[in-house]
């Protein structure tokens, strides 16, 4: 956007920041720093972070110029005067990069802490291996509106359909090769005659 219209883009980023500041304050968040068109924010609780993200998505839904997406993680951080460091920040950043416009993705640590809130629902997305993270991170898609909850089987069939088809084809190929290899055995010849 900067390459096409720098002045309008800067106004958009500023308007986005002002909107964020108001909502962040409402949920007792602390704006740590701006990251280009993104923000690094600390909250006192995971539910406050998720509710803030939902509010921001709702408040910008009619504005086609703002496409917000969020990655939220609960983890240890080191807070300095001007910045925040640690694996908690790294994982949150990686989760954010996986989220799509209008989506809130959270780690299992966040979901474990908020899943008892009736107004917050989610769908398990799957495990993700992130760069510089020594273990897979389970991701959950937070429902922004009244989305139906998707079961793990539905997600598997929807997201992993290609893998299932490839696996089935491989199994069929192995079965055919086995039949041709063992074709000299009497019981296999009986199968062909029937």
DSSP H/E element including 84: strand 84-85
pLDDT in tens, 5-28: 667 667 777 777 777 888 999 999
Residue 74 CB coordination number (10 Å)? 20
Q: What are phi and psi of 104, to 5 degrees?
A: -115, 115
pLDDT in tens, 132-169: 888 999 999 999 886 655 544 444 444 444 455 555 55
- Give the side-chain half-sphere CA count within 13 A for 130: 21
The angle at the Cα of 137, spanning 88 to 158, to the nearest 5 degrees, equals 140
pLDDT confidence of residue 194? 54
Do the beta carbons of residue 123 and residue 116 sit within 8 Å?
Answer: no
């Amino acid at each position: 956007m900067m390459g096409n219209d720098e002045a309008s883009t800067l106004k958009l980023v500023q308007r986005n920041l002002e909107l964020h500041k108001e909502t962040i304050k409402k949920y007792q968040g602390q704006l740590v720093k701006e990251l280009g068109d993104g923000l690094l924010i600390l909250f006192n609780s995971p539910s406050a972070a998720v509710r803030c993200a939902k509010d921001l998505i709702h408040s910008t839904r009619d504005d086609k110029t703002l496409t917000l997406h969020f990655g939220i993680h609960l983890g240890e951080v080191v807070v300095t005067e001007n910045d925040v460091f640690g694996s908690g920040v790294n994982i949150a950043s990686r989760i954010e990069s996986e989220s799509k416009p209008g989506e809130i993705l959270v780690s299992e640590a966040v979901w474990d802490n908020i899943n008892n809130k009736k107004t917050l629902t989610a769908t398990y997305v799957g495990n993700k291996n992130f760069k510089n993270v020594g273990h897979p991170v389970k991701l959950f898609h937070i429902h922004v509106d009244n989305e139906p909850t998707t079961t793990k089987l539905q997600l598997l069939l929807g997201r992993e359909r290609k893998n299932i088809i490839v696996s089935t084809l491989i199994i069929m190929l192995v079965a055919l090769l086995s039949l041709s290899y063992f074709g000299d055995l009497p019981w296999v010849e009986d199968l062909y005659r029937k």
